[in-house]
Structure 1
Amino acid sequence: MKQQKPSRTALSVAANLLMLSYNPIFGQLVPKAAIEPTRWCLRSIPGLTGKTTALFDYPWMHTYMGRVEQSILPGVSIHTAVRKRWIEEQVFHEIDQGCTQVIVLGAGFDTLAYRLHHQFRDVRWWEIDHPATHQVKRQALTTHGKLHPNLTFLPVDFTRQSLANVLATTQLYDPHARTIFIAEGLLMYLEESDVRTLLHTIQTSSGPNSSIVGSVLAPKPDGHLGVQKANWFIHLGLKLAGEPFKWGISADDLDIFMNDNAFEDVKVARTSVVVQSYLAVPSHVTLYEGEYLFLARRRNS
């Protein structure tokens, strides 16, 4: 990611979600309460990028963007919406089971914490992300929305600070409380050693029954990391943006990996399967494969 600009991936994910919200079939996958905050964030991006998002209201733009997605990365918008919905369901379940803290790592322009901190006022929420992305998001939500004290934005450059240090110095964070950490679309950008460090930090800096939920990139059949069915343009763009893929693991091997890092009760789900429980998918629609969803619980000592 360019140091002074919001993450290109965060921008792409938010734009895909907003465009999908206009779809007569798949728009129902996007929470209605997420649409306006997502639009606020996109339109708050400085320069031409923010101005261009005003075009999303036009039907011709929906058609154009749909064709672009179909040629570059078919089904990614549906995948993103299902991914977010499934993760949100896990967060609801954890809160119902006694979780009192939620930490969103690499939050981007995701609206989960913003929306749910209104609903669950007795739960503390933190969003941790690069300062450049946080600046745009916080400005947008402060200007157009309402923020309560139980939501905190932590602008962090992880090239200079560790998560362990951030948690140790974060006001009101309770290392003994049951916490869920959200790592959606994040782990693929970390080295394996950094993923292990992250899991160790969660294990040692959160209370019993704490968990991590998120997504993992599965290696392609040839063993290389990359987005399946994506053309060369995607991988080149990620490299130029400073956001190349660094880590992935197959769903079959995730349980062993998590157990090696003191996590258990691993649950895995695929968006191409999960979506069927939400709506009937037309036979001609391409569903994205290559990234799967998971939840794992820290082993209690």
Structure 2
Amino acid sequence: MEISKMQIRRKDTSGTAEEITFHRVIESAKEEEERICYDPYAVHFIGPELLKFFEATACNYPEAKARLEEMYRLFPGTQNSIVARVRYFDDYLHDSIEEGIEQLVILGAGYDTRAYRIEGIKEHVKVFEVDYQGTQQVKMEKIKEIFGSLPSHVKFVNADVGSGNLFKILLEHEYNPSQKTLFIMEGLIYYLPPEDVKTLLSSIVQNSSHGSKIILDYFPQSMVDGTCELEVGNLIHERVKQSGEPLKFGIKEGTVEKFLKERGFSHIQNVTSDDYKKAYFYGKNENREVCSLYSFVHAMVEH
């Protein structure tokens, strides 16, 4: 693809969303037996600068290769944890579709492409992608370029996920609170103030049916308050702070089950770096390091 075709205006968009997408681009370019996740559409959502960098790495240009290796050295295991997160959330969505979910709400959707690449979703699930207008406008333009039009099974919802108006706006977009729904919060809650996280989780419980579920990832509280004992944790803390999207919310280690149970959830399953390392990194990938600061959790709405 020509670089010029990727040049779209990216005013008021999330730089973090693009960076996370770039990790999917890098992983998807690997051989099938080696890659942890696969997203054939991710490359469409990175801007010209990152696209040039990706093409340079794909051609094994020494300077680009050195830059990528430096990133891996400074943030050891983070790339692998991020692509493992994509894979785990994909697998969980696959299972949820087989179990009969009727709606999928992707909160802070960014450049998430699950609505377009997960088998069975178009036929059986109504999707709501929730994010700010700037990022969504870029995404909608690219979706129309890829597929020719916006798909009928996806609703693009311009809303602040931490506000008390979220479900009012979702209802206006034909969200049905009586249907079994999965809420995906990937790379989201640590950017929200604590009160917004609590409001969001309470709103989900109040506005969804029995059997509805959530899946999210989180950082330990020490990452947020700057007391993390791991150097990579403090580097991530400073990196996102400098990008203008600082960390605001963390969960004290060992308390995620209590935290979610107190907010109306049951069947809580915490997924540690040891868990996803064992699940995905074996064979050719057994020596790939993961970052212990990335944890996932899924739970069911308790009614």
Mapping of residues 115-194 of structure 1, within 5 Å: 115-116=117-118, 119-145=121-147, 147-158=150-161, 162-170=165-173, 172-194=174-196
Structure 2 length as normaliser, TM-score? 0.85
Contact 1:107–1:127 (CA<8 Å) still a contact in 2? yes
Q: Is the 8 A contact 2:115 2:122 kept in 1?
A: no
Contact 2:163–2:200, Cα closer than 8 Å, also in 1: no
Aligned match of 1:296 in 269, 276, 299?
Answer: 299
SS of the residue corresponding to residue 255 of structure 2 reads helix
| Structure 2: distance between partners of 1:270 and 1:159 | 26
* 1:16 partnered with 2:23: yes
Structure 2 alignment gaps of length 5 or more: 1-9
In structure 2, how many angstroms separate the alpha carbons of the residues matched to 1:62 and 1:207? 49
Distance 1:203 1:81 in 2: 29
> What's the counterpart of residue 39 of structure 1?
43
RMSD: 2.8
Distance of 1:175 and 1:222 partners within structure 2: 33
Q: Are the structure 2 counterparts of residues 10 and 259 from structure 1 closer, same or farther at C-alpha, using a change threshold of 3 Å?
A: same
2-side partners of 1:193 and 1:265: how far apart? 24
**SS in structure 2 at match of 1:121:** helix
Q: Deviations over 1:113-138 (max 9, x none)?
A: 22137644121011111211111111
Per-residue deviation at 1:28?
1.9
8 Å CA contact 1:128–1:154 kept in 2: the answer is: yes
Q: 5+ unaligned residues in a row in structure 1: which ranges? A: none
- Percent of aligned pairs with the same residue? 22
How many pairs were matched up?
Answer: 291
CA contact (8 A) 2:105 2:183 kept: yes
Within a 5 Å distance, the mapping from 1:1-301 to structure 2 comes to 4-24=11-31, 27-31=34-38, 34-35=39-40, 37-42=41-46, 45=47, 48=49, 52-60=53-61, 63-116=65-118, 119-145=121-147, 147-158=150-161, 162-170=165-173, 172-220=174-222, 224=226, 228-230=230-232, 234-280=236-282, 284-300=287-303
What is the distance in 2 between the residues matched to 1:11 and 1:224? 25
Q: What per-residue deviation string (whole Å, max 9, x for no partner) do you get for residues 253-287 of structure 1?
A: 11111111111111111244323223416565322
Q: Shift of residue 189 of structure 1? A: 0.8
Residue 104 (structure 1) shift = 0.5
Deviation at 1:70, TM superposition (A): 2.1
Q: 1:25 to 1:297 in 2, by over 3 A?
A: same
